[in-house]
């Protein structure tokens, strides 16, 4: 099920959404290179990329299509932005990972990288969601679970995030105190981004953001 495309504003929307994905990729990279923990999905994707022997960005793309397949099976509506999310964030991650070095044994800098990542995630989410071109694949799965089971957005999100971070941790992914800090701070960061850009999302997306966006958005 596809959301209709607004052709009269498509070029403007495309540029805006790519800026959001550009910032998403940078935010995820800062968390990975900071080495004190990442978002739940990044934990799993980093672990799988290392085990399979592919780049993290490529793993992000593959995971996006896998999750989207599940959402489509549950007949969740998607938009062109959903596909853009899958195809854009991973390559941006690989771009940033190629130029940002890994930082270890420098806790002030590492904490600064994490906080900057969370701040950028809030801005990126506001830019991306403001285009209203469809939820990302991971959020589409969350919304599909809510719709098909009747549980709350928060419960659906919690089930997915706990499952993903547990699998990632078991596979050797980068879990740390930054993972918890991200989970606590990303929601307020997104709300702040909404105020800055005066984003007025539709109700399902507003509930989604209150529960915390993918770090994916990823």
- φ, ψ at 2 (rounded to 5°): -110, 140
Can you tell me whether residue 189 is helix, strand or coil?
helix
Per-residue pLDDT of the chain (218 residues; tens, 9 = 90+): 566 788 888 999 999 999 999 999 999 999 999 999 999 999 999 999 999 999 999 999 999 999 999 988 988 888 899 999 999 999 999 999 999 999 999 999 999 999 999 999 889 888 887 888 887 888 888 878 888 888 877 788 788 888 999 999 999 999 999 999 998 888 888 888 888 887 765 555 544 544 444 444 45
Domain extent listing, the chain: 7-211
Tell me the residue length of the chain.
218
Q: Residue 78 forms beta bridges with which residues?
A: 2
């Amino acid at each position: 099920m596809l959301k209709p495309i607004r052709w009269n504003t498509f070029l403007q929307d495309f540029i805006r959404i790519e800026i959001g994905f550009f910032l998403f990729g940078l935010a995820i990279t800062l968390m990975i290179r900071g080495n004190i923990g990442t978002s739940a999905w990044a934990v799993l994707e980093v672990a799988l990329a290392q085990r399979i022997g592919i780049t993290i960005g490529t793993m992000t793309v593959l995971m996006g299509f896998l999750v989207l397949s599940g959402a489509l099976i549950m007949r969740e509506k998607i938009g062109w932005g959903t596909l853009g999310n899958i195809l854009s964030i991973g390559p941006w991650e690989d771009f940033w990972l190629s130029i940002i070095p890994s930082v270890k044994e420098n806790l002030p800098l590492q904490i600064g990288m994490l906080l900057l990542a969370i701040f950028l995630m809030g801005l990126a989410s506001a830019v991306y969601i403001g285009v209203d071109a469809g939820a990302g694949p991971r959020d589409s799965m969350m919304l599909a679970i809510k719709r098909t089971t009747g549980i709350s957005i928060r419960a659906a999100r919690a089930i997915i995030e706990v499952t993903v971070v547990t699998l990632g941790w078991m596979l050797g992914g980068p879990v740390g105190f930054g993972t918890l800090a991200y989970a606590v701070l990303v929601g307020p960061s997104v709300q702040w981004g909404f105020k800055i850009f005066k984003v007025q999302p539709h109700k399902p997306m507003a509930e989604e953001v209150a529960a915390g966006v993918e770090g994916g958005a990823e």
